[in-house]
Amino acid sequence: MSLIVERYAVIGNPVQHSQSPWIHARFAAQTGENLCYTRLCAPFDGFAETVRDFVARGGCGCNITVPFKLDAYALADTVSPRAAAAGAVNTLRVNADGFLYGDNTDGVGLVRDIEGNLGVALAGRRVLLLGAGGAARGVLLPLLQAKLGEIVMVNRTAERAAELAHHFAQLAAEVGCQLIGGGEAVARGVFDVVINATAGSLAGELPIFDARALGTNTLAYDMMYGSQPTVFMHYAQRHGAFTADGLGMLVEQAAEAFFVWRGVRPESALVLAELRALLGRKCID
């Protein structure tokens, strides 16, 4: 008698570059879970139809990448608190009743990479978050839950950062974190962690911030990753900081999605090390 192979996929456009099938294949092999994971490129105007067709053909869940995270949020029947805070969904699960449950694992992936893989404890620390778009919003709840001392958000359009800070103000107060949002002028002094949540690295653009935020003990973390250190990482290195890219975040958010689907938590650090070796890059540059 053959075992039933449950089907999962990553949905985006473009999607062929995604490392998710490799990552989840390693998770499945490690945990003994019987699943098949593929890539699906959805038309820009056909995301919902792509998901419904996948579910109709036996799909049990999917990861969502750009540009469909807002579409996934709208499509989900219910969402987790962290997805509600992010206003976006990157993980869909088909429940037993056929309804779609939406979650967002990006923020927890970021926190686990910084604390678990890079060994930087976040409690009580000062964090400078560059950007106020979807990526920044998607990680704010888990960052606040990490009991930071202060988060300063800087954005080219200062009003967007101020609005985002206002949106999360009550939660920040509840966890005892000072949360400030605005333009470059609101960031003063050296920060323990500087996180680039802008998409600038994709175009080789450096986000606007004061280099005096960087010290010799500062972790400069770029949520993007590529075959080489990003322009943000190069800049931070020149100013004495140590740096990391977002590959660990990618693996950690995938591990959390795997847990959401399967109820089993894989050994993500092992898979991250394998992927680093495969891509020929070090853990920290």
Please enumerate, by residue number, every residue annotated as part of a binding site for shikimate.
Answer: 18-20, 65, 90, 106, 225, 253
Dihedral pair phi/psi, residue 175, rounded to 5° = -100, 0
Element (H, E) at 91: strand 91-94
Lookup: tokens for 65? 């990448």
Instruction: Give the C-alpha separation, 269 to 248, whole Å.
Output: 8
Answer whether 86's CB lies under 8 Å from 144's CB. Answer: no
Close Cβ partners of 209 (under 8 Å, ≥ 6 residues apart):
128, 130, 154, 184, 187, 194
Residues in the chain: 285
Q: Residues forming the annotated binding site?
A: 18-20, 65, 90, 106, 131-135, 155-160, 223, 225, 246, 253
Catalytic residue among 7, 24, 69, 112: 69
What angle, 0 to 180 degrees and rounded to 10, lies between the N-to-C axes of helices 268-279 and 247-262? 140
147 catalytic per annotation? no
Q: Residues forming the annotated binding site for NADP(+)?
A: 131-135, 155-160, 223, 246
CA-based nearest residue to 128, from 210, 59, 71: 210
What angle, 0 to 180 degrees and rounded to 10, lies between the N-to-C axes of helices 20-31 and 247-262? 50
* Tally of CB atoms within 10 A around 113: 26
* DSSP secondary structure letter of residue 4: P
Answer whether 240's CB lies under 8 Å from 214's CB. Answer: yes
* DSSP secondary structure letter of residue 123: T
Answer whether 197's CB lies under 8 Å from 160's CB. Answer: no
Catalytic residue list: 69
